[in-house]
């Protein structure tokens, strides 16, 4: 992700796709508090894969010692030195010109003295933080609603995340910067195409110890292999198949409480929540590698969950048990 450095800050300055500098605190992305600086002094923006700077000020912008033309695009390069109002104490150095991304950046806190040395987390669909083996929070992107959500392991209620929001985990504080979209909309970079043309095929062993999942669509078969979380997903698909056979209305089909899942699977509520997120994450990763976006595999609503897909089959010992299309 693109960033600048400044002698006035110990932290990198990560760039949004449309990043404004100036002394108008309510309007700019980076505040420069100096009387020589205009309310909106300059903007750095990402256009067709290239970073440019524009001078919008009264007192000018200098790049590598040369004044640039007002209100015209000037292409930036790594190691360029940007100076506002020809003030040597208001200088930025271009360190990276990668494409803009949504990112979590570490903030200093009293309980984490070494946090400034932590690396930013570039957000890609699904994250178990601080680690997948010991998650405290889950951050994930909903491609239908086009927004980031956060859930804690202790509280499975998803919370929508906004630009600039602070998150706390592992005794540290992190700030969300939604940098990928100039319009400040939800900003995960993707092809924008959400596919519902996927059939989910579960194959459960006769003793129900192993479950594998294959995804089929018009372009490919995607092997999701054998994973423990596939059994939970297959169980939710079974519930939905049962409700279909009972002619239950579609919006009611498949919903079950977390308490019922913990009883049926024999896992704690925390472990069930982790399994749900691992199932979602694996699917998101697999589909992303194929250039496909799809809705979340498992829906949540007020302490209940259900299998979200409409086209699925469940086999047990290679014999068909549930077929949503027949139901």
When pLDDT is averaged across residues 211-216 and rounded to a whole number, the result is 95
**Structure tokens that stand for 140 in this block:** 């994930």
Helix (H) or strand (E) holding 278: helix 269-289
- pLDDT winner (highest mean) among 118-127, 223-232, 290-299: 223-232
143 touches 194 (CB < 8 A): yes
In three-state secondary structure terms, 221 is strand
pLDDT of residue 112: 45
Residue matched to tokens 């040395």: 117
Lowest-pLDDT choice from 8-17, 24-33, 81-90, 270-279: 8-17
**Structure tokens that stand for 4 in this block:** 């600048």
Q: Give 115-167 pLDDT, tens digit per residue.
A: 546 788 989 889 999 988 889 999 999 888 888 999 988 777 889 999 889 99
pLDDT at 243 over 70: yes
pLDDT band at 202 (very low <50, low <70, confident <90, very high): very high
pLDDT at 110 over 70: no
pLDDT at 113 over 60: no
User: Rounded to an integer, what distance in angstroms lies between the CA atom of residue 29 and that of residue 179?
Assistant: 10
Residue matched to tokens 């494409």: 99
Question: Domains in the chain, please, with CATH?
Answer: 3-96 (2.60.200.20), 102-178 (no CATH), 199-323 (no CATH)
pLDDT band at 108 (very low <50, low <70, confident <90, very high): low
Q: Which long-range contacts link 234-239 to residues 24+ away (Cβ below 8 Å)?
A: 234/202, 234/204, 234/314, 235/261, 235/264, 235/265, 236/261, 236/298, 236/305, 236/306, 236/307, 237/200, 237/202, 237/307, 237/309, 237/312, 237/314, 237/322, 237/324, 238/314, 238/321, 238/322, 239/306, 239/307
149 touches 140 (CB < 8 A): yes
- Average pLDDT value for the chain: 88
CB atoms closer than 10 angstroms to residue 116: 12
pLDDT of residue 132: 86
224 phi, psi to nearest 5 deg: -95, 5
227 touches 209 (CB < 8 A): no
This prediction has a pTM of 0.75
Residue matched to tokens 């698909």: 237
pLDDT band at 287 (very low <50, low <70, confident <90, very high): confident
pLDDT at 285 over 70: yes
pLDDT of residue 192: 45
Angle value at C-alpha 35, between 29 and 39, nearest 5 degrees:
40
pLDDT of residue 195: 59
User: Rounded to an integer, what distance in angstroms lies between the CA atom of residue 140 and that of residue 155?
Assistant: 15
């Amino acid at each position: 992700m693109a960033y600048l450095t400044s002698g006035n800050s110990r932290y990198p300055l990560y760039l949004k796709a449309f990043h404004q500098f100036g002394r108008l605190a309510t309007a700019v992305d980076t505040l420069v508090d100096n009387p020589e600086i205009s309310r909106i002094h300059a903007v750095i923006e990402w256009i067709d894969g290239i970073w440019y700077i524009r001078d919008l000020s009264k007192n000018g912008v200098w790049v590598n010692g040369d004044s640039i033309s007002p209100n015209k695009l000037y292409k930036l390069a790594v190691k360029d030195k940007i100076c506002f109002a020809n003030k040597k104490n208001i200088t930025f150095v271009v360190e990276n010109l990668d494409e803009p991304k949504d990112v979590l950046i570490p903030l200093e806190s009293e309980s984490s003295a070494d946090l400034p040395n932590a690396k930013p987390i570039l957000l890609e669909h699904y994250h178990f933080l601080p680690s997948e083996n010991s998650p405290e929070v889950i951050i994930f992107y909903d491609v239908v609603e086009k927004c980031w959500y956060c859930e804690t392991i202790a509280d499975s209620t998803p919370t929508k995340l906004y630009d600039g929001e602070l998150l706390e985990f592992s005794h540290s504080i992190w700030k969300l910067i939604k940098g990928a979209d100039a319009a400040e909309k939800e900003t995960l970079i993707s092809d924008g195409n959400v596919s519902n043309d996927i059939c989910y095929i579960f194959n459960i062993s006769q003793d129900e110890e192993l479950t594998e999942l294959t995804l089929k669509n018009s372009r490919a078969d995607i092997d999701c292999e054998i994973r423990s979380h596939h059994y939970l997903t297959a169980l939710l698909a079974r519930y939905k198949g049962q409700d279909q056979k009972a002619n239950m209305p579609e919006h009611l089909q498949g919903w079950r409480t977390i308490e019922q899942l913990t009883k049926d699977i024999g896992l704690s509520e925390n472990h069930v929540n982790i399994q749900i997120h691992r199932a979602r994450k694996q699917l998101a990763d697999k589909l992303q590698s194929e250039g496909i976006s799809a809705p979340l595999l498992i829906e949540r609503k007020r302490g209940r969950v259900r299998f979200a897909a409409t086209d699925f089959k469940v086999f047990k010992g290679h014999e068909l048990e549930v077929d949503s299309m027949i139901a």
